[in-house]
Each structure stands twice: as structure tokens, then as C-alpha cells.
Amino acid sequence: MDSMTLDAGKPADPYPFPPRQFIDIGGLRTAYHVEGEGPEALVFIYGGNFGGADSASSAYAWNMQVAPLAKRFRVVVPDKIGQGFTDPPLRDEDYTMGAVVAHIRDFLVAMKLPPVHIVGHSRGGFASARLAMERPDLVRSLTIVTSGTLSPGVGTNEVVLARPPHPPFTRESARWVYENYCFRKEVVTEAWMDVVMETLANPDYRRGVDKIVGEGLGADLFLPDLARYKRETLTWIDEGRLQRPTQVIWGFNDRTALVERGMELFERIARHERRTTFNVFNEAGHFVYREHPERFNALLAGFVDLHSAW
Amino acid sequence: MTVLTPRTVQANDLVTQIFEGGAGNGPAVVLLHGGTPGLVPYAGGSHLWGALPETLARTRRVIAIDAAGSGGTPAGDGPLTVEVMARHAAAAVAAVADGPVHLVGHDLGGLVGALVALDQPGLLASLAIVASAAAAPSGDGVDNLTFLGAPEPASTRQAQFWAFDRMSYAHHHIDSTLLDGSVAAAESEAHRAVLRRMANPAAAAALTGSVLRAKFGLFRAAREAAFPVPTQIIAAAEDPLVSRDHMLWLFRIIAQHQSATQFHLINRSGSFPFREQPEAFLHVLTAFQDGLLAMAA
């Protein structure tokens, strides 16, 4: 049934988002969205990390991908541990990127998905690449979208977004953050900000913020641990452990991860994996897939077709 | 596999050799090869595209054009310049297409394609500039020694192999079909006539001078106003003739005012990414075209 018949007079949402579902992953109530059928499964991993107070990522970030790609593929979008509407870690020592990767791994296994085409953005690009190396049996292809977290070199996220001029947990703060991420302010829609505000108001999400900001686990644990983890992960790439087709996608106008960061990442991966491409979109900031959804989706669908099961 | 059909069309008073085939939704794809006599030692012609036209023809209409002065198309009587080649290419596109086309230009064909886009944007749905030292900024670069010590005469099978080998990441794509086509192109009347002409230093200077003039015209136009059509830049990571940084700069130039600009870098390929990594090349080429179609829907 199309939404025109449900709500006559109102234009149909071109990107209807499937309802939130839950699954237990290691004692954590884990939120996810799923749509579409097909032998090939796409899994989207968004960016950010638990405990963000100025803005908040959630599965909705991919709403422009789900409906169009679900016409041909099974599309799955989980909320990461402590983000969106998934429970935060049970133990303080799990406020790490390693715990994020382990949670995604356990989610893929619990969902009984065939080897997936994993698409990771920003910090999610790091987690996706790490997973592709730790558990290649779970991953058929890897798409990394503007990931300053994974790229060697100087990421400028903390520079561009340092200390927003609005109080934490406010719509103004979230809007300021996303407008600075994006090339065009108009792509920061009210619908998107509604979901961000809903996430920021979620008590489970706020428990993560209390840990990361209030108790200082961000500065004391998450960031130093991520630095060690990144060193090891880049070493793994240099050793040739990334054994899956990889496309790196970058926004030319992303001030938080300049295009040179993408080129550096391509060079390190391409040395060992022939099936690597680097792709840059003009007039796109950090959220390439929200600024140019049609061309992004076409590039992704073609990549999945190229690297489908034989 | 779809086999392309050769025929000739009249374009700017030149009896022009084309190869066509396939059908599908969306605009036709028109291929403009590189390899201009006197500028590079390999012999240009539609044979350079290898399996790409047939592969594209499975899902869309494809037309490969022999450029003025290459393969089966004569150069005409006047001086051969990039502008002449662009006017000829535009006329050929107009003669064969029933609507705007996706124009794909390799090497000098990329610069020719850019001039067609600037002069007659209505003919194009998009432009792809592939591995094009001619179109990319040269940036006071150092001498390129790729063709140093080229064997003579250039028209032999051995000399053609040598040139392709020098331009490639790996030589495995240099098959007998390519060499047969290159030797035939090198021995064609069009090619030999242009070479005879290029023996005159003034004629050679007119051609090389036109490359710079066309390139600077492109840079100026892209600086002052939006480059008129959606454009993708497809670079090869190991192209000995033009570095990935040069090609990324070409992207930056077009991207100044053209929103729909994309850059793609193909791994483990020399100057012929569509031959050395055909699957990856086909993916990025058709994804751009499909994405534009989705935007228009």
C-alpha cells in the first residue's frame, strides 16, 4: 500500500524507513531495521560513537539508501552498541571500538546473514574494515565512506567541530554539527533532526553519555584505546590482511576528512587488494550518501553486482 | 556476445567510420578513442576499446567513432588540430544519435570530448574523461620518458607491442586482436596520410599547439562558469603518462562549478583501464550513467 492512499494530499515519502525491530545480542537489546529480499545482503554501519552529546547518529542516517536498494537486495541497518536505540555496554571496559566491532560481528552471526556487503561511514568505516579483516567469512565486500577514523594522516573532525556554539542536547547544536559536516545546509532536514533529538532524549543513550562525558571514559579509555587499535588496524592493512573487494568513497568538500585522506587510504589498501577503487563525489561533505543519494546508490548497487556470489 | 556493426556516416565532409550495436533504456554511449598519429607511437582507432563496446551493448546502445585521421576516418584537407577533431566528433555524434549521449573520451579523446561539451552541450547527457594526459593540467611536470627510445618504424607489430607494453601495468591485455587492429590502423591510409603531414614541423606544431590551446580553453571555461555537462574523471592508478594527482586536479577543475562531477581511480592499471581492469571500469562508468538517470527520474 502506498502512503498516498493512507494520507491523501500529502506527498509520499520517497524514502520510507522500515520500522525498528529488536534482537538480543549478548544481553544487549539491539535495534535494527531490515527491508527487501535477495541473495545479496547489504549492511550499513553509520558513524559516530557512544556518548556524543552535541549530536547523535542512528540507523536513520541511511534512510535514503534503504528503500531504493531494498528493491534488489536485503538491506539491514543495525544501531551500534550504545548508539541510536541499542543498549549501551554492560561493563565500563567495553566503551571501546573493539566492543563496537564485536557487537556488529555478533549481530551478523545472530541474524544468520550470508557474507554481507558491508558499508561503513566515518567511525563505522573503521569498524567495517576491522571486521572484514577479523572475520572475512562474514564479509563479501567492503565500502568505506569518508572515514577519517580509518585513514592515516590528520583527520580534522575535532578541528571543524570543536566546541559547538550551542549547548549540548539541543536541536541547535545538532543542526550546527551536521551543517558543518555537509556541503549544502539544505540536506540537514527537519526529519533528520527529529530522529537525532529522539536519540538524544533516549534514556539508554544518555547512560552512554554519562559514562563517556560524565565519568570521563571518552578521554580516559575510548580515545587512547582507539589510537592503539588504529595503529594495529593500519598495520594489518599494510600486511595485506584486508582480503575483500574494497571501494573507498569520499566527499570532495568534507572538511573533517579531506580528499587526501581518502587517497592515502586507497593507496594502503590497493597495494594488496587489486579490487580496490577510490571514488570522489563533488559538492559532497561528510554524508556523501545523503547529498547525492541517486549516484551513491548506483555506485553501491554496481559494486554489489560486481562482487556478488558466483 | 553482441557484435558491433561497422558502417560509415558523413560528418563534416568526412566519410567517418563508426561501429554500433546494442539497445537499452537511457542515452546511447559514444566512445572516442585516443592515439593520435604523430603524438603517440600507438595507432589509434576504435579497436583500442577491446571488449568494452560489446559489453556495454548488452544493456545500451553503443557507438564507437574512428576520430579524424585515425583508423577508417580520413583527416580531411585542412590542418589537423584538436578543434578540427572536436568539430568532427560533434558532427559524428549528431549524425548517429537520436538524443543526448554519454560521451566517453580516452587520452586525447577526453580533451576532444571536453571541447564537444563546451561547444555543443546539448549533444551530451554526460562526459567521461578517461586516463587523459591531454586534458589534465601538466603543472610544469618533468619530462615523461615512457616512449624514450621507441623502435622504428612504429607501424610494425613489434613496435606497437612495445608502445602498449610501456603504457601498461601488466602486458597481459596486449592480445593478438589488439595488435592486429593496431597494425591495420597504422597501415591505414588515414594514419599514413597524417604521419606524412606531421613530417612537416609546422603541421606537427599546429597539432601540439592546439592541444595546449584546447586544454587552456577548458580550464578557463570551467573556471568562469559551470562546465556544461555532468562529468566523471576516470584515472588509472599506475598510468605512466598521467599521474593520479594530475587526474585529481582535472577533477578539481571541472568540479569548481559543475555539481555532478565524480572522480574514480582504478587500481593496477596503466593507460588503458578499460582493458586492464574491465570490470572495475565498467562498474564506475555505468554507475555514473545509471545514477544520472535515477536523478532525472
Question: pLDDT tens for residues B133-179?
Answer: 999 998 888 899 999 999 989 889 999 999 999 999 999 999 999 99
Residue ranges of E strands in chain A: 21-25, 28-35, 41-45, 74-78, 116-121, 139-145, 246-251, 276-281
Give residues with Cβ within 8 angstroms of B10, minimum separation 6.
B16, B95
Model ipTM?
A: 0.95
Distance set, CA A156 to CA A146, A172, A226, A228, B204 (Å)? 12, 22, 16, 19, 49
Task: Give pLDDT, residue A4.
Answer: 44
Q: Is B264 helix (H, G, I), strand (E, B) or coil?
A: strand
Of residues B117 and A2, the one with the higher pLDDT is B117
Pairs of residues, one from chain A and one from chain B, whose beta carbons lie less than 8 Å apart = 91
d(CA B199, CA B73): 20
Flag if A282 and B261 touch (Cβ within 8 Å): yes
Question: pLDDT tens for residues B10-64?
Answer: 999 999 999 999 999 899 999 999 987 777 889 999 999 999 999 999 999 999 9
Task: Give pLDDT, residue A107.
Answer: 98
Task: Give pLDDT, residue B118.
Answer: 98
Q: Is B169 near chain A, with CB under 8 Å? A: no
Q: Is B58 near chain A, with CB under 8 Å? A: no
Task: Give pLDDT, residue A235.
Answer: 98
What is the nearest CA distance from B191 to chain A, expressed in angstroms? 36
Task: Give pLDDT, residue A7.
Answer: 54
d(CA A52, CA A200): 9
Of the candidates A252, A266, A294, which has its C-beta nearest B265's C-beta?
A266
Which residues in chain B touch residue A292, judged by CB atoms under 8 angstroms apart?
A: 291
Flag if B251 and A282 touch (Cβ within 8 Å): yes
d(CA A240, CA A255): 29
pTM for the model stands at 0.95
Task: Give pLDDT, residue B38.
Answer: 75
What is the nearest CA distance from A23 to chain B, expressed in angstroms? 34
Flag if A279 and B262 touch (Cβ within 8 Å): yes
Angle at CA A183, nearest 5°, toward B267 and A171?
130
Flag if A270 and B237 touch (Cβ within 8 Å): yes
Task: Give pLDDT, residue A3.
Answer: 43
**Which chain A residue's Cα is nearest to B284?**
A299
d(CA B173, CA A295): 30
pLDDT by residue, tens only, chain A of 310 residues: 344 445 556 677 889 999 999 999 999 999 999 999 999 999 999 999 999 998 899 999 999 999 999 999 999 999 999 999 999 999 999 999 999 999 999 999 999 999 999 999 999 999 999 999 999 999 999 999 999 999 998 889 888 998 999 999 999 999 999 999 999 999 999 999 999 999 999 999 999 999 999 999 999 999 999 999 999 999 999 999 999 999 999 999 999 999 999 999 999 999 999 999 999 999 999 999 999 999 999 999 999 999 998 7
- How many Cα atoms within 13 Å fall on the side-chain side of residue B47? 22
Do the beta carbons of residue A31 and residue A22 sit within 8 Å? yes
Flag if A270 and B267 touch (Cβ within 8 Å): yes
**Which chain A residue's Cα is nearest to B290?**
A298
Of the candidates A275, A280, A299, which has its C-beta nearest B287's C-beta?
A299
Question: How many other CB atoms are there within 10 angstroms of residue A308's CB atom?
Answer: 14
Flag if A296 and B291 touch (Cβ within 8 Å): yes
Distance set, CA B253 to CA A212, B217, B258, B260 (Å)? 43, 12, 9, 13
Rg, chain A, Cα only: 18
Q: Is B265 near chain A, with CB under 8 Å? A: yes
Nearest to A183 by CA among A62, A282, A309, A84: A282
Give residues with Cβ within 8 angstroms of B74, minimum separation 6.
B14, B15, B68, B189, B190, B193
Question: pLDDT tens for residues B77-114?
Answer: 989 999 999 999 999 999 999 999 999 999 999 999 99
Q: Is B138 near chain A, with CB under 8 Å? A: no
Residues of A at the B interface (Cβ-Cβ below 8 Å)? 68, 252, 259, 263, 266, 270, 273-283, 292, 294-299, 301-303, 305-306
d(CA A124, CA A72): 23
What is the pLDDT averaged over residues B65-84? 94
Task: Give pLDDT, residue A10.
Answer: 65
What is the nearest CA distance from A78 to chain B, expressed in angstroms? 26
d(CA A133, CA A150): 13
Task: Give pLDDT, residue B131.
Answer: 98
Which residues in chain B touch residue A283, judged by CB atoms under 8 angstroms apart?
A: 255, 259, 261
Which residues in chain B touch residue A279, judged by CB atoms under 8 angstroms apart?
A: 262-265, 284
Longest dimension (CA), chain B: 53
Q: Is B261 near chain A, with CB under 8 Å? A: yes
